[in-house]
Amino acid sequence: MTTIALKSFAGGTIELKEDRIALDDKSSRMNKGLFQLYPFLFLFAGAYQIYTGMMSERENQLIMHTIAGVMFLTIPAMLYHSNFIRTNKKTIELHEIENAKMKKIFGEILIDFTLKDNTTRRVYNIKSKADWQVVKTYLEEKKIICLN
């Protein structure tokens, strides 16, 4: 069993066990009501922009409001597509993992575990790429695809 500590302010760990991965991190934000409400807020804002554009008297306002409305309507489609379904499981069995991918967003390293039921488990606050290499080596030994 290998244990990887997350960044000190996060206070979590990743435990690589024989047949599963145990994750101890703060992933409960995925169940917040506002996080699930965001797509509807964008849809409402987009519909409102298109409506105010149609009610405006100038061609400039009509075009600009319509463009802004269409952009607001496409944000939920881009951010909340079918692969955006996330889980916050604390234990992932190895047979559930389809692939794993390391991402670096705004200087922060995170790992996405894509599961076979089309959900994603994201682990934030990875200290360094060396920790990702430990996870990658472990998963490749278990014949799980690592995309980078």
Q: What is the pLDDT of residue 28?
A: 58
Cα(131)–Cα(100) distance, integer angstroms: 14
41 and 114, same domain (yes or no): no
**The whole model's pTM is what?**
0.67
pLDDT tens-digit readout, 56-97: 888 888 888 888 888 888 877 776 665 567 788 899 999 999
One-letter identity of residue 57: E
21 and 48, same domain (yes or no): no
The domain in which residue 142 lies consists of 2-27+88-146
Strand ranges for the chain from DSSP E: 2-5, 13-16, 20-24, 91-93, 97-105, 108-115, 120-126, 145-146
Q: What is the pLDDT of residue 84?
A: 66
51 and 95, same domain (yes or no): no
For the chain, give the mean pLDDT: 84
DSSP 90: S
**Helical pair 59-79 and 33-55, crossing angle rounded to 10 deg:** 160
Across 29-50, average pLDDT:
74
pLDDT band at 113 (very low <50, low <70, confident <90, very high): very high
Whether residue 10 is predicted with pLDDT greater than 80 in this model: the reply is: no
133 and 108, same domain (yes or no): yes
